[in-house]
Amino acid sequence: MSVPTGSVLKLRSATKAFRTAGTQVRALDSISLDIGPGEFVSIMGRSGSGKSTLLNVIGCLDELTDGQYLVHGTEVRDLSMRQITSLRNRSFGFVFQAYHLVSTATAIENVELPMKYAGIRQRERRKRATELLERFGITECATRLPTEMSGG
């Protein structure tokens, strides 16, 4: 089996600036980063150092002010909103600190939701969602609502 080469994600001189209280803040200041296939990356830093901003850019939840961001060699800036949504759905998974679950849906239904948007049939969604719950050791939570589960 061959291992793919090249960058999966590439940032070049990535800058993200915004105004707060009349002051311009550079949350990202000329960041360059390459992440290859199968690499495990940890983003660490003090509070306010731009970690969440970087993750939002990488996950196509926010845009750069300046610089370049490529996913599988494609410049994200050149994609339409529909293409970005599709890319995000196919390529990224996030576990948010505030987990953003649908409060009226069970754990398994919340796991299935992105697959539903991706057009995967219900039977296959349920199979995959069950496998994911098993992988993470939380099958006992399958029928629980978010308010019935531990936040940790």
Q: Mean pLDDT throughout 1-17? A: 81
CA 123 to chain centre: 25
Question: Is the pLDDT at 64 greater than 80, yes or no?
Answer: yes
Domains observed in the chain = 9-91 (3.40.50.300), 107-148 (no CATH)
What predicted TM-score, i.e. pTM, was given to this entire model? 0.65
Dump pLDDT digits (tens) for 120-133.
Answer: 999 999 999 999 99
